[in-house]
Structure 1
Amino acid sequence: MIDRVLILGGRGRIGRSVAADLLAHTSANITITGRAASAKTPWQEQLGDQVEFLALNLSDQASLNQAVANANLVIHCAGPFRYRDDQVLRCCIDQGVNYIDVSDDRSFTRTVLKLREAAQAANVTAIVNSGVFPGISNSMVRQAVEQLDSVETIHLSYVVAGSGGAGVTVMRTTFLGLQHPFEVWLDDQWKQVKPYTGRELIDFPPPFGRTGVYWFDMPEAFTLTEAFSAQNVIVKFGSAPDFYNHLTALVANWFPAPLVRHPGFVEALSRVGHSMTAITDRFSGIGVAMQAEVSGEKDGQSARYQSILVHDSTAVAAGCGTGSLAELVLSGQVQKPGVWAVEEALPTHLFEQAMQSRGVTIQQHWL
């Protein structure tokens, strides 16, 4: 039987990267969706005739049901993630179809994790936060945690160059993440922090170098807390060039809160930001660097283990993260009925094999 994969929001940068990864590593039939057909078809130039297009409005329940019924894996890449609900996952559970989601929104993640028992009863494997961060980053943490006997602190740092190769939707997600304080796990308790505060300078490998990272609302801040018994889980994000960090911090901490939360203002910021990165991408690149540092004990002694990844395209890296999970689910190597974050669903040996097959290098060492 030939596998059939439905990629919702597949015309976007992330969706196209996921489809390209599946074309390279599986023989699945792939259908990507968008609200309507368009005269501009960059996905056809990238993916060719092996991929079909389906016009699909997710609010049309009957059409969604039919599209899901024709697939044995649904990959949800449509944004903005902040406004998602669990409609698509519920549809997959009802029809017994496996599900993967690239969303990086904390509220959405909490919502779909509540469907774990329903997915288990339907024998559906559902994996969320599947891209690069969260996604590959979560597996890097698991990889490091497994080197230690006990864990005290998990510290994740991300930096993206320019647009990261993504579109306006990812820009919207970034600015939507500035709207409200959020909770982080510090000293064995939840504490509230403001977005884009707590600047730290991290020494990333070239071409990034020493770069600022800030508190940012990410779902791995709580999924890693639940998966591993750490006293602290720190997740921080930054942009390159560094002046983008200062502009974002200005918006988050100095602009009036009602303005930052206004949809029109968010849309304007997203459009302006995307236009700016279209210029700076030419010299900054569109890559990503991630550092996962885990401290704890090994053989009765204090120890720290670090994993580092650098990739020249954030969007392609996200495609690798999601595409590798899809490949493993389709092949039956990952079968875990329920709804799970990546670090709970993907064994480290399979993660390492998938990254190696894609030429993704993760540096690991003791500190």
Structure 2
Amino acid sequence: MSQQQKVLILGGQGRIGRSVAEDILKHTNAQVTITGRTQKQIVSQPNLQFLVLDLAELKRLREAIKEANLVIHCAGPFHYRDETVLKICLEEKVNYIDVSDHRSFYRKLIPYKEDVRKAGITAILNTGIFPGISNSIVRQGVEQLDTAETIHLSYVVSGSGGAGITVMRTTFLGLRHPFEAWIDGQWKTVLPYTKREVVEFPKPYGKTGVYWFDMPETYTFAESFKVKNVITKFGSIPDFYNHLTWITAHVFPKSWIESKKGIEFFSKVSYNMTSVTDQFSGIGVAMRAEIQGIKNNQKALYSSSMVHQDTAFAAGCGTGSIAQYLLEGKINQPGVYPVEQALSTDLFIEAMQNRGIKIDQQMIAQD
């Protein structure tokens, strides 16, 4: 009888971390340990335990990682994190996943790709819903075309998304600086929360405004798919949150969103507001990917979309499915990768079907 595998979820008490744990417990027989700086009450269930752990306690962090078969880093915001956890996983030869959602963190980890490959472990970054499931939706579409030229990926979240205050912090951190986007085959500077577009999402969302937003996919898709354009846009429901975010990004003094105190203030105010509006708007997510390219020597537009009533649950599915496949040995690709370079479309389709997440897709020939 094979030994029970062990999963360590750092930052596992947050809404995303708990959703990841729930998915792994449902779809594997692994023993899951979630960590946090202080212990909150968790529902007692088989194969789940808690460990008080501060990531700054490097000796205890190493001891915990050494005991695991897989480490999942959920302790954001990742703007403030460095490569410490990956380095320890590398030294202890333990597979690694994270739910990072900013290119600055990706850039800190990707230089370790060759060392991680030599160590024989797999590290997969940017898992979750967006980034995460979004990456696989785009890969699926690119594979349907003979040549892909433009990727346009839009996301919308209702209220808080049920994902907690950390996601609020991430949103406001994403407003601080212009970023580089891949446009016409070169990197061009884009201002966050500009160039509003109205995108048709699946019901119940319908037409909703989205804006330029810095996502890891903006950066990784250019390498993964060799396309000319990568556009990533984000919006909120109700729409007045979009206008408030725009005002925060473009009207308030820049110093307000460049300080930790300012970020914390905006995050807490927004979280308190969504605590009220979530009751009416829900906490769901919708994504729409449109990929322009060539199919059978003719211009074509591939579009796909997904919707789920619980953003945090969907994020748990995205990360949990990759954890499942690593534990089962279905993913064994030593090195450091974003999701679209590590998860095959066949495995992605299987994971979504097993979790009841439907991806609608269509191909339209264009004149």
Fold match (TM-score > 0.5)? yes
Give the letter for the 1:35 counterpart. Answer: R
3-state DSSP of counterpart to 2:131: coil
Report what 1:19 is aligned to.
Answer: 21
Aligned to 1:249: 246
Structure 2 CA distance, aligned partners of 1:274 and 1:256?
21
Describe the superposition over 1:260-291 as per-residue Cα deviations: whole angstroms up to 9, x where unpaired: 21211110110110010010000100000001
* Cα offset, 1:48, TM superposition: 3.2
1:190 deviates by 0.7
Aligned to 2:270: 273
Give a deviation string over 1:221-274, Cα, whole Å, max 9, x none.
Answer: 010110001100000000000000000000001111112212111101101100
Structure 2 distance, partners of 1:171, 1:161, is 12
Shift of 1:57: 1.0
State the partner residue of 1:31: 33
Residue number in structure 1 paired with 2:211:
214
* TM alignment of 1:299-310, pairs within 5 A: 299-310=296-307
1:366 counterpart letter in structure 2: M
2:30·2:47 contact (CA, 8 Å) conserved in 1?
no
Instruction: For 1:112 and 1:198, locate their aligned partners in 2 and report how far apart those are by CA, in whole Å.
Output: 31
User: Partners of 2:106 and 2:308 in 1: how far apart?
Assistant: 26
Whether 1:143 aligns to 2:145 is no
Q: Of 320, 324, 329, which residue of structure 2 is paired with 1:327?
A: 324
Describe the superposition over 1:30-72 as per-residue Cα deviations: whole angstroms up to 9, x where unpaired: 000001224xx2xx23x63531000111111110110001100
Deviations 1:69-112 (A, max 9, x none): 11000000001111010000000000000000001011001111
Runs of 4+ displaced beyond 2 Å: 47-50
How far apart, CA to CA, are the structure 2 residues paired with 1:300 and 1:306? 18
Instruction: Tell me the equivalent position of 1:119.
Output: 116
Deviations 1:90-141 (A, max 9, x none): 0000000000000101100111111100100100100000000000000000
Question: SS in structure 2 opposite 1:114?
Answer: helix
1: distance between equivalents of 2:250 and 2:181?
18
Report the AA paired with residue 322 of structure 1: T
Taking the TM superposition and a 5 Å limit, the aligned residue runs for 1:88-127 are 88-127=85-124
CA–CA distance in structure 2, aligned partners of residues 307 and 206 of structure 1 = 14
Alignment: residue pair count: 362
1:290 to 262, 287, 291: 287
The answer for the alignment partner of 1:76 in structure 2 is 73
**Larger CA deviation: 253-262 vs 4-13:** 253-262
**Who is 2:47 aligned against?**
50
Using the aligned pairs only, state the percent identity: 58
Could you tell me how far apart the structure 2 residues matched to 1:298 and 1:259 are? 48
In 2, Cα distance between the equivalents of 1:126 and 1:143?
21
Given the alignment, which residue of 241, 261, 264 partners 1:264? Answer: 261
Q: What amino acid is aligned across from residue 55 of structure 1 in structure 2?
A: V
Q: Aligned equivalents of 2:47 and 2:184: distance in 1?
A: 51
TM-score between both structures, scaled by the size of structure 1:
0.97
Partners of 1:259 and 1:321 in 2: how far apart? 34
Q: CA deviation at 1:366?
A: 1.0
1:3 aligned partner = 5
What runs of 5+ residues in structure 1 fail to find an aligned partner? none
CA distance in 2, matches of 1:338, 1:123: 7
Aligned to 1:185: 182
Q: 2:141 touches 2:303 (CA, 8 Å); kept in 1?
A: yes
* Distance in structure 2 (CA, Å) of the matches to 1:260 and 1:64: 32
TM-score, L = length of structure 2: 0.97
SS, match of residue 18 in structure 1: helix
1:212 to partner: Cα distance: 0.4
Equivalent residue, structure 1, for 2:62: 65
AA matched with 2:239:
D
The gaps in structure 2 that reach 5 residues or longer are: none
